Structure 1
Amino acid sequence: MASQVTPNTFLTHCAGPSSSSFETGATVTTIFFISGNPGLISYYHSFLSLLADQLKVSEGSKLGSSFQIYGCSLRGFELPEDEIQTSNDQNHKPNPKIYGLEDQIHFVHGKLHTLVTENSKTTLSQTRSADTTATVPPRQKVILIGHSVGAYIAMEILRRHRETSGSKSAEFDIIGGVMLFPTVMDIADSPSGRKLTTLLSFIPQLALIVGFFVRLLNFLLPNPALRSLIRFMMNSPPDHALDATFAFLKSPTGVQQALHMAADEMRTITTDKWTDDVWGAASTRPPITKLVFYFGRNDHWVAEKTRDEIIALRGQIEGKGPIMLVCEEGLPHAFCLKHNDVMARKVGGMIRDIVAGDEAR
């Protein structure tokens, strides 16, 4: 598939320092990114671009892998190609449907399968050009990256994938997962989770009310004034973050979608739902997925107690199970606003380790 960067999609390709070209028919490792809430992929364009740069130039790396990096906006957060013009068009009628967390899991899972299917067709075609007897494409390899609630979605996709791994529908292996500031358990116990839960107990229709208020704000404020307000409230963010937030507030249902989904997260993300298989414990049946969890300190969406319990119960023991890391550099939960370069370097190293371990098997 050709590279493309739009308000709703990010897709690029990069070859590692020792890899061959994409035209040889060799299998390409897909890095499939799942955003947090609000689910606009444009918040992550800078991070994903810098990650691609990290994988192109990896000092000391001898990996032969080529990579495809893909991400898309979550359901209900999609933007028109021209956000401002369309949102100001009185004839534009937004999609009234609002999606919950389970809807998002189905949506993202479907996107992954569609992408892998297209890759398989392309790879088979390239392989046949070199070997006319080829009838089956090489098995695809995928690494999931999930940020915040995207980590929960990634774990659910991994669970459902393993449940069908013996069927013909499983055309790929998930060889790794990188979970950034993951909200995978007891999100309602986090500082922000407690505040939101309390607010929802007093105002059950919070998403609808705030969505109406934002539409009113859009009606009253001209675009330059709204951008100035965003810049002030976000303490002068980088241009990409300002543009993404502006588009988010101008979208017909984006704010309502974000709050509706957040409320669903409070109800759904509770106790550990996954078996050793999903957590990547070395005692489980192959293929074993190598997982890396990167937690923050004083993360307002992950309680310190919850983080420590996850590390104690699921952390790596004697080289077995997922790697659990805790940030010692003070990076915030919303790293995609101002800390993309740091996270791209960190995640690039995690991906190289995952691929190196897979190639060594």
Structure 2
Amino acid sequence: MAVDMLGAAGEGIAESRRPRSEEQVPLHEEFIYCCGAATQVLKCGPWKNLLETESKTLPRLLFLIIPGTGNPGLAGYYRTFVRALYHGLNQQYPVWVVSHAGHCKPPNSMEMTEGTDTDIKELEDVFGLHGQIEHKLDFLRKNVPKDMKLVLIGHSIGCYITLEMMKRASELQVQVLRSVLLFPTIERMAQSPQGKLLTPVLCKLRYMLYMPVYLLSFLPERVKTSMVRFVLRGLKCPDEASIITSLNLFSVDCVGAANVLYMASQEMMKVVERDSTTIKQNLKKV
């Protein structure tokens, strides 16, 4: 069944009806509260609400991207990838990416947390690593039909989150057809070369980073854009979407940046041993 569904996407490329160019692919952006925290969602395709879509037009499969935090976990960094994947699938299946809780810059009319939502009280730490895992599970339960098949695409720490999701939610054993792990970060983060350098900073000194972010937020947009381009100068073709998304980190209240750094500090402490048991149990899907 999995092979049939995934294979159908590739076969569609050869059909006489060619898909539109990637620039013309429809991309819908929305900000919602999930577990009481502001969450950005990018949806590629005409299906904006799968729960309210008529069964005859409902797609059989959803591709959901779980971002990393090294970029950090903002959906905007995946705009080009989402469009390219949807285009490559001949526009047959929706491709979504959901940001990590509290990493996005919500609209002015929206607070970072929803004070009236009791869900945030039920989750002890929605902005921490394990809270982010429950955040993704809650998003699936509230936005995706239970009988819809899934392809989960994890990137970096998103791979760790993907494995934990499959471990914690038994219903995903049936619902998930494939779990694609891109550049997986699933073990011994603090022992890596970068981890040895960043762990002391993230775990003990991260509060000192808030002041530079706060001060940089007052710079003109042109100056901040030039700074981001300078940081990304190592990339052969800096993606314009990445540059725009990076500017959202320069916020006066520093809340988004603080949540990013907090989650990163937890990753260093909690991502230690590889979960070989979960990998073996889902080997045919990974």
TM-score normalised by L of structure 2: 0.71
Of 136, 142, 145, the residue aligned with 1:108 is 136
Corresponding residue number in structure 2 for 1:46: 80
| 1: CA distance, partners of 2:128 / 2:189 | 16
Q: Which amino acid aligns with 1:199?
A: V
Question: RMSD between aligned alpha carbons?
Answer: 3.1
The alpha-carbon distance between structure 1 residues 92 and 215, as it changes in their structure 2 partners (threshold 3 A), is farther
- Give yes or no for the alignment of 1:174 onto 2:198: no
The alpha-carbon distance between structure 1 residues 187 and 232, as it changes in their structure 2 partners (threshold 3 A), is same
- Give yes or no for the alignment of 1:5 onto 2:33: no
Within a 5 Å distance, the mapping from 1:209-358 to structure 2 comes to 209-219=208-218, 221-235=219-233, 237-250=238-251, 252-275=254-277, 279-281=281-283, 289-291=284-286
| 2: CA distance, partners of 1:194 / 1:13 | 41
SS in 2 for 1:250: coil
Corresponding residue number in structure 2 for 1:142: 150
Q: How far off is 1:41 after superposition?
A: 0.2
Corresponding residue number in structure 2 for 1:355: none
1:34 touches 1:145 (CA, 8 Å); kept in 2?
A: yes
Structure 1's consecutive aligned runs of 4 or more residues displaced over 6 angstroms after TM superposition are none
| 2: CA distance, partners of 1:6 / 1:233 | 28
Q: How far off is 1:272 after superposition?
A: 2.2
Corresponding residue number in structure 2 for 1:67: 93
Within a 5 Å distance, the mapping from 1:17-56 to structure 2 comes to 24=56, 28-37=60-69, 38-56=72-90
| 2: CA distance, partners of 1:147 / 1:226 | 27
SS in 2 for 1:271: coil
1:30 touches 1:141 (CA, 8 Å); kept in 2?
A: yes
The alpha-carbon distance between structure 1 residues 173 and 250, as it changes in their structure 2 partners (threshold 3 A), is same
The unaligned stretches of length 5 or more in structure 1 are 16-21, 58-65, 121-138, 282-288, 292-361
The alpha-carbon distance between structure 1 residues 188 and 28, as it changes in their structure 2 partners (threshold 3 A), is same
| 1: CA distance, partners of 2:196 / 2:169 | 32
Q: How far off is 1:159 after superposition?
A: 0.7
Residue deviations 1:177-200 (CA, integer Å, cap 9, x gap): 000001011111212111112435
| 1: CA distance, partners of 2:86 / 2:154 | 16
The alpha-carbon distance between structure 1 residues 214 and 27, as it changes in their structure 2 partners (threshold 3 A), is closer
SS in 2 for 1:67: coil
| 2: CA distance, partners of 1:279 / 1:249 | 42
Within a 5 Å distance, the mapping from 1:56-95 to structure 2 comes to 56=90, 66-81=92-107, 86=108
1:14 touches 1:67 (CA, 8 Å); kept in 2?
A: no
Q: Which amino acid aligns with 1:290?
A: K
1:40 touches 1:248 (CA, 8 Å); kept in 2?
A: no
Residue deviations 1:70-109 (CA, integer Å, cap 9, x gap): 112110112224xxxx4xxxx9976599811011001111
| 1: CA distance, partners of 2:260 / 2:80 | 22
Q: How many residues align?
A: 231
Q: Percent identity?
A: 26
Higher radius of gyration, 1 or 2:
1
The alpha-carbon distance between structure 1 residues 276 and 35, as it changes in their structure 2 partners (threshold 3 A), is closer
1:14 touches 1:55 (CA, 8 Å); kept in 2?
A: no
